[in-house]
Amino acid sequence: MKVLVATEKPFAKVAVDGIRKVVDQAGYELELLEKYTDRSQLLDAVADVDALIVRSDIVDEDVLSAAHKLKIVVRAGAGYDNIDLKAATAHGVVVENTPGQNSNAVAELVFGLAVMAVRNMYNGTSGTELKDKKLGIHAFGQVGRNVARIAKGFGMTVNALDPYCPDEVMTQAGVGSVHDVKDLYAGNDIVSLHIPATPETKGSVNYELITSLPKNGVLINTARKEVIDEAGLARALEDRPDIKYVADIKPDNASELTEKFAGRVFFTPKKMGAQTAEANINAGIAAANQVVAFLRDGVDRFRVN
């Protein structure tokens, strides 16, 4: 059996070593395709593999039809919007993710971005502190829960909205439950986005929500750029000169925003949330173990299609 790790944005070496160990122990063969610059390299590499481990790499109909022997794709991470689930199902390919494995890394970056925003992007002027401020968490999944835990250490008041999470889970975490999305934005100094990119959520963080933020509000996006209505965001930043937007994902209108709203917007050049050795090890090795469990024993506990 051949397992391909195809990562345009590679894992730390220590994570690749861990993946190799798991694959070797199972008696399978590991192939690596890192930092590829052309899709044709991925299409060639998948031709004879039984399993594929990816990060945000696009796995669409083209990839699936080029992968004649493919049985399983594991997205080493949380969001699987980069994988065409329908096409995978049609090709008889199981798709899994590794929920929770990189969530602390993403949550820590939220605070890297939050401090940067409230300290005016470190421009030397007086900013504010996070202590005693209100934090609104938009979706209380694995990342959202880690964000809440860390926010407590900063002395913040934490509220969350998540129609899929029972209020008791939030109460137990010392987090207030909010049931109307507008209240989440209007009632918190900082809102941190943790919703997945789905047909329902795409473009849902719009002008109306962003301009509901209180004075000097900050919107943090370590989720997906697609959840933002980018034209609405530009309009909101124009109409509300007190608002800031900091993100781990470059929006499509990044150059317009950077030019017009210098000092109030920040984007990482490449998605950095899960780029820690720990997250790479956790997600990469979990993915390798899931591949082996599936190929050897048919276990598909983390299947998403």
List of residues contacting ligand 3PG (CB under 6 A): 9, 55-56, 77-79, 102, 271, 273-274
Q: Which residue is nearest to ligand 3PG (CB)?
A: 77
CB of residue 77 to ligand 3PG, shortest distance in Å: 3
CB of residue 147 to ligand 3PG, shortest distance in Å: 14
Closer CB to ligand 3PG, residue 42 or residue 234? 42
Closer CB to ligand 3PG, residue 78 or residue 160? 78
Q: What is the 3-state secondary structure (H, E, C) of the chain?
A: CEEEEEECCCCCHHHHHHHHHHHHHCCCEEEEEECCCCHHHHHHHCCCCCEEEECCCCECHHHHHHCCCCCEEEECCCCCCCECHHHHHHCCCEEEECCCCCHHHHHHHHHHHHHHHHCHHHCCCCCCCCCCCEEEEECCCHHHHHHHHHHHHCCCEEEEECCCCCHHHHHHCCCEECCCHHHHHHCCCEEEECCCCCCCCCCCECHHHHCCCCCCCEEEECCCHHHECHHHHHHHHHHCCCCEEEECCCCCCHHHHHHHCCCCEEECCCCCCCCCHHHHHHHHHHHHHHHHHHHHHCCCCCECC
What is the C-alpha to C-alpha distance for residues 290 and 305, in angstroms, rounded to an integer? Answer: 15
CB of residue 235 to ligand 3PG, shortest distance in Å: 27
What is the C-alpha to C-alpha distance for residues 60 and 78, in angstroms, rounded to an integer? Answer: 18
Closer CB to ligand 3PG, residue 113 or residue 118? 113
CB of residue 75 to ligand 3PG, shortest distance in Å: 7
Closer CB to ligand 3PG, residue 104 or residue 159? 104
Find the angle CA(172)-CA(175)-CA(179) to the nearest 5 degrees.
110
CB of residue 7 to ligand 3PG, shortest distance in Å: 8
Exposure string of 179-210, with b = 16+ CB inside 10 Å and e = fewer, is: eebeebbbbbbbbbbbbbbeeebbebbbbebb
CB of residue 15 to ligand 3PG, shortest distance in Å: 11
CB of residue 252 to ligand 3PG, shortest distance in Å: 17
CB of residue 279 to ligand 3PG, shortest distance in Å: 8
Closer CB to ligand 3PG, residue 79 or residue 187? 79
Closer CB to ligand 3PG, residue 9 or residue 303? 9
Closer CB to ligand 3PG, residue 187 or residue 251? 251
Closer CB to ligand 3PG, residue 55 or residue 240? 55
Selection from 137, 136, 109, 114 nearest residue 127 by Cα: 114
